[in-house]
A and B are shown apart, each in its own frame.
Chain A
Amino acid sequence: MLTKDQVRHIAKLARLDLNETEIEKFTKQLSAILEHAEMLKEVNTEGVEPIAQITGLTNIQAGDEPRESTKSEALLECSPQPKKDGMIKVKNIF
């Protein structure tokens, strides 16, 4: 069972400004989901390597060759924030 304070803490970690109704609803629903997931304990996974890549690929690397990007302006245009000198202007971090 999760407490409301735990759910508030998760919301903070997830950068989600949830209201009290949502906190209450998610406390109940996430608790129910975690309870349902208890069944996973029945599966013996001792000594099992967790899956990293399902078709078995490892260390696929792209060639280290510089290429021209033609999209930088278009990508910058996607930003809803003010722009200055080819950069996005944001609020203070601290």
Chain B
Amino acid sequence: MTIQEALEKLRSKELSVTELVQAYLKRIETLEPKLNAYLTITKDFALEKARELDKKGDFGAPLAGIPMNLKDVVCTQGIRTTACSKILENFVPPYDAVVWQRLKKADCVLLGKTGTDEFTMGSSNENSAFGPVRNPWNREYVPGGSSGGPAASVIADETIFSIGTDTGGSIRQPASLCSCVGLKVTYGRVSRWGVIPYASSLDTIGPLTKTVEDAAIVLSVIAGQSEEDSTTPAVPVPDYAKCLRKSLKGKTVGIPEEFFKKGVEPETEKAVRDGIEVLKKLGAKVEKLSMPLVKYSIPTYYFIAKSEASTNLARYDGIRFGHATDKPIEELEDLYAKSRAEGFGEEVKRAIMLGTYALSAGYYDAYYLKAAKVRALMKQEYEKAFQTCDALITPTSPFPAFGIGEKMDDPIAMYSADTLTTSINLAGVCAMSVPAGFSKNGLPIGMQIIGPQFGEEKVLHVGYAFEQATEWHKKRPKLN
């Protein structure tokens, strides 16, 4: 069900919130043994909120009675939040993240917390300490990552929508691999306060939904300045759902050819080129352009992301919160080193190692600083593209879902899954993945629509027009 459909049924009293929530809890119970999308199911909490809303009978709030879930990096007061890491296995936050405060105020009903790669580091969900989420279209395949739980739960209709995080593609790539809509906002559009960080200069928070309109509705609730996060500027928040129903005539979409090069599978390329034809028929002008720096986005990204991760993760020291070793220790330093070695998984250790190296004396200039300069040039490249284009169209992922286990022992092959998404985070711009087709073996393909900083309206506008003209977003996996 979409937000719009559910709101109509709730507001017309065709359904009570309790009935709706019970139906979702039942579906979760049936599907979870197959999908493993949820880490924690907040059944009692959801039913209590549902009863409260039914009793109040007021459906004026923008998301009143809508069942949803949060990726398990969004802190929820009194509800375990793990980042899918052993180091936070028993962590119960004493406060709510700003994004959850806002959703709560809009009267959402939380169904539970969904799976991610550990500390959001990964493109397949296999780095979770609590077992990988399965792709609902084919359970031998990965759902993508790191927001694999959010994406799988949305398309399997185990929730109406979900909130994920995107540092290098972690909302868009799983949305692409599972066939849902995934919106990565401009850096600073949504407050990060209370969300467990990966790389603070790249992290963003956004919705995964079944339609573009739903993404617009959720964004209007969660966007905007918050005093807890000094990187959220006072850019006004429009009613994003109001900007959708306009013609594409007079709009220009840019096609950066570098996004269709090496490594992009022919089926993916064809689906996206067909998508561009759809936009052309809707009246958009199509312009080819070149963005040569995109090819450097993976190394630029990993130096910046892993360096920031290594400093962010320094807080896990076995003292203030999280896992502490129970082995005998001599000195404080042993407590740090042992607790961290026991609590972190392999990809997180690899990130800390790479980041520590890139920031260490003698290497900082060659790696971190070099990457920060390339990043400056990449931002300029995007600014130039948006001088003539309203939005850019590319594939989201170079390939559809891959098999579980297929890329686990080759970090560079795994990082290549993010080839087409990381430059967007580096430039701080916004982008959305929308369903755009299927491979011949039935795996979803996503199309990425990129907009300038704080240009979410443009991205949503193009996405909505595309969605109205195609049927891809209506397809659902067979799960029985």
> Which of the residues A22, A39, A40 comes within 8 Å of B349, measured between beta carbons?
A22
B94→A77 contact, CB < 8 A:
yes
**Which positions 52-79 of chain A face chain B at CB distance < 8 Å?**
52-55, 57, 60-62, 71, 74-75, 77-79
- Bound form: Cα–Cα A55–B430 in Å: 12
**B interface SS class:** helix
Which chain B positions have C-beta within 8 A of A45? 370, 373-374, 377
Which residue from chain B places its CB closest to the CB of A79 in the assembled complex? B320
Smallest CB separation, B415 vs chain A (Å): 8
B299→A39 contact, CB < 8 A:
yes
Residue A80, interface by CB 8 Å: yes
Which chain A positions have C-beta within 8 A of B375? 50-51, 54
Q: How many A-B residue pairs have CB under 8 A?
A: 159
B233→A57 contact, CB < 8 A:
yes
- Bound form: Cα–Cα A92–B302 in Å: 36
Number of interface residues of A (CB under 8 A): 49
Which residue from chain A places its CB closest to the CB of B342 in the assembled complex? A17
Smallest CB separation, A71 vs chain B (Å): 5
- Bound form: Cα–Cα A43–B297 in Å: 11
Residue B201, interface by CB 8 Å: yes
B332→A54 contact, CB < 8 A:
no
- Bound form: Cα–Cα A92–B453 in Å: 49
Residue A1, interface by CB 8 Å: no
Which chain A positions have C-beta within 8 A of B367? 37
B331→A14 contact, CB < 8 A:
no
Q: What are 13 A-B contacts defined by CB distance under 8 Å?
A: A2-B357, A14-B310, A17-B337, A17-B340, A30-B353, A32-B411, A40-B300, A51-B201, A71-B95, A77-B94, A81-B324, A88-B320, A91-B331
Q: Which residues of B contact A (CB under 8 A)?
A: 91-92, 94-95, 186-188, 201, 227, 230-231, 233, 293, 295-296, 298-300, 302-303, 310, 314, 317-324, 329-338, 340-341, 344, 346, 349-350, 352-354, 356-357, 360, 367, 369-377, 379, 411-412, 426-428, 453-454
